[in-house]
Amino acid sequence: MEQAVGEIGTTLDGTSTCRELAAFTARHLRATATVDLLTEPGTAPRRAARATPPETAERPESAELSESAEPSEPSGPKEPAGSSESAELSGPSEPPEPPEPARRTDRSVAGPAGDPAAAPDAPDEHRLAVPLAVHEEEPLGTVTLSRTGGGPFSGDEVALARYAARLAARHLGHARRLAAAEDAALHLQRALVAEPGRPHPNLEIAGGYLPAGPRALVGGDWFETVRLHFGRSLLVVGDVMGHGLDAAVDMNAYRTALREVAATDLPPHRVLRHLDSVVAEDGARRPATVLLVRLDPARGTATFASAGHLPPAVFGADGSAELVDLPVGPPLGTGVGGYEPTTRPLRPGDTLLLFTDGLVERRGEDIDHSLARLAALRLPPDCGPDQVVDQVLHRLGAHGAEDDVAVLAARIRARPPQ
């Protein structure tokens, strides 16, 4: 049983757990093991794993039957079809018995309540069916063991099979709950980042979000746009520390609070101060880095304020990139404050790119080198926001990043000639 603890449930993947259960029971109980899972109530079970005992894994099934019986000398004419198995199993000193109308079997079966299962397919085939369940919980499926010859399953073997099945069921339950939480967090995150507020028509914008990894533990990355008075728009990108559903929930709280504060039309640095004081009073919220940019297309200016966030980049009409130099205050939630604004012109054809650290950060690399790699990019001339987002994500290998990535690009829309 100690070996079962070490060999079953080594990962949080349900399929791997089923394979480990099948391999363990096949090896220790010298039987062919199959694991069938119930996906939804009322549906047919799904075959998740199958394993054979080591000594039979590389032999055809006919060889398994012949080696499990005593060798016998040929005596008399060949037996009729259907009686060869009984002839082999009867031993050399007894004449073969004629086939019976109803085939006699020797079965050892343990179901959910010890009831016999369906009859085995061959004489002297012993079966053991054990539910994948923890105590009184609903079964997640069944592990079925079958072997020909060798005697019925002993009480110790039945106990071991039930213990292994309960152990696997517990790990399968953990894996399913984790998958459900990941799925809920991913849907929440995508719903939030997929529908940012609409800026004024005088701006072209494009955004993108990439969760980290194939199993995507969702983080707290987000971007947002808020309409302000006089044709101005507030651009936001933020990153709540941590991953998972809790980070996504905190991200939603930050986003909601920011919309309310931004509606007062405060300057970006004062918006950060207000958010910092509100979050600092709520000890349950995680800290977050945020970058705010207020774009004024009529004046061709952009005003920045940063709470511990990486600086944005500006791609010129010629495709060259430049990092914006701006003062950086502490992350939100510290209660320290100290946020300062920076204003710079935004020329016609310039595209502003805001991003979270997952876009540029790489394990073991200094952040200055990571930002320099972004600044060294040369994009095709006259790229719009959509092209800038696509090009940057591709060239920096963001699809294989170890952290979530959120990007937001904006460009002042050219006025039509009068």
| Tens-level pLDDT at each residue, the chain (418 residues) | 778 888 898 888 888 999 999 999 999 998 999 999 987 766 788 999 999 988 754 444 433 333 333 343 444 444 433 333 333 333 333 443 443 333 333 334 444 333 434 445 556 788 999 999 988 788 899 999 998 877 889 999 999 999 999 999 999 988 888 888 877 777 766 666 555 667 788 999 999 888 776 554 556 888 999 999 999 999 999 999 877 667 778 888 888 888 889 888 899 999 999 999 888 887 778 899 999 999 999 999 999 999 999 999 999 999 999 999 999 999 998 888 889 999 999 998 999 999 999 999 988 889 999 999 999 999 999 899 999 999 999 999 888 877 888 999 999 988 766 5
Give the pLDDT score at 34: 94
Give the pLDDT score at 417: 61
* CA 81/CA 59 separation, integer angstroms: 24
* Contact assessment for residue 290 and residue 236, using Cβ atoms and an 8 Å cutoff: yes
3-state secondary structure of 286: coil
3-state secondary structure of 61: helix
Give the pLDDT score at 302: 97
Give the pLDDT score at 243: 73
Q: What angle do CA 95, 97, 103 make, to 5 degrees?
A: 155
230 DSSP 8-state letter: G
Give the pLDDT score at 143: 94
Give the phi and the psi of residue 67 in degrees, each rounded to 5: -80, -20
* Contact assessment for residue 407 and residue 353, using Cβ atoms and an 8 Å cutoff: yes
